[in-house]
Amino acid sequence: MTSLELEERYSRQVLFSGIGPEGQKRLAAARVALVGCGATGSALASLLARAGIGRIRIIDRDYVESSNLQRQSLFDEADAAQSLPKAIAAARKISAFNSQIVIEPEVSDLVPANIQALLDGTELVLDGTDNFETRYLINDFAVKTSLPWIYTAAVGSYGVTMNVLPGKTACLACLFPDEPRGAFETCETAGILNSAVNLAASIAATEAIKLLVGADQKVRRTLLSFDVWSNERAELKADSPRPGCRACGERDFIHLAGEGRPHITLCGRNSVQIHERHRPVDFVEVSARLQPHGKVRHNDFVLKFWPDPYEMTLFPDGRAIIKGTTDTAVARSLYARYVGS
């Protein structure tokens, strides 16, 4: 693509005074990481790619299902039929509408052991996850390394987002010292409106662009929440670190140390992820071994196996998602029986 064609592609964005030609050059040179490519993550990925962010690393542990298509805007029915990993499917879709930027798909679960490698070389992290455990891990790493990140979440008709600028604003642990406990809404129990997802992602993407072009004075320094159904909106001051905060005050990075890290029940379905073991998996060999025990199929990215009444999705690194239970003991037993202990 010639420089003239590039100018035409982003011409309407460059005309906006907050960005201009120099801002567009900064976007083209930017390197961001997106952790999670589900509902908010896929919307964020699309917006940032279309804006011309030069390099986007998409980190996601999951695969596309038909129930995702109502709100996960980068995917289609063919992706769901093939059970493509979301990071791979997103990279393919983005390359089809913007081949001039670099997309780095990482089919991985972000954990303490790999966070340094997966976030290395990036200047901003965006949250597309579905659980607080991973968000606290991102927060610990970001605060420790002075890496800006943007917290974003949506459930039901509700969305929330906050910019975290280590040393300048509050961090996630400042506002939420402890992970929510007890009964709280998830998209599995409360559902989710795609409009809430897209509004949250649009606000977060705009804040990301502000940071990347250097418009620091325009960056919002509040926790912003809104409900698109009830029309309620609220902001909570987050313009400075909280004295005594575990993370940015005491620099006690318990999540980065991996303390008490559990199996995670995935949002939107009755599943448990097994990520204790890291082993290379030969899909051809495993497929042949499993055929007497149930339906099995695989592609280059995932192996799907149905030991009735469960569904197992196995990844090349040995990670697995067991659908049909939230009992970690049952999930471990199935994994040991069919994959190995």
Domain boundaries, the chain: 3-237, 271-338
pLDDT at 341 (0 to 100): 63
Order of all β-strands in the sheet with 320-323: 271-274, 320-323, 311-314, 303-306, 295-298
* Dist CA 145 CA 119 (whole Å): 11
Sequence-separated (6 or more) residues with CB below 8 Å from residue 330 = 272, 322
pLDDT at 326 (0 to 100): 85
Sequence-separated (6 or more) residues with CB below 8 Å from residue 167 = 146, 241, 248
pTM: 0.87
pLDDT at 181 (0 to 100): 60
pLDDT at 222 (0 to 100): 98
Classify domain 271-338 by CATH number: 3.30.310
Amino acid at 48: L
Residue with tokens 């940032």: 48
- Contact assessment for residue 147 and residue 32, using Cβ atoms and an 8 Å cutoff: no
Q: Calculate Rg over the CA atoms of the chain.
A: 20
pLDDT at 268 (0 to 100): 56
pLDDT at 258 (0 to 100): 82
Domain 3-237 class? alpha beta
Chunked into runs of 10 residues, the chain (341 residues) has average pLDDT values of 72 96 96 96 98 97 91 94 95 96 95 95 96 93 98 95 97 90 60 94 98 97 97 97 95 86 62 77 90 91 92 90 88 86 63
pLDDT at 183 (0 to 100): 46
Furthest CA-CA distance within the chain: 64
What are the backbone angles phi and psi of residue 233, rounded to the nearest 5°? Answer: -145, 145
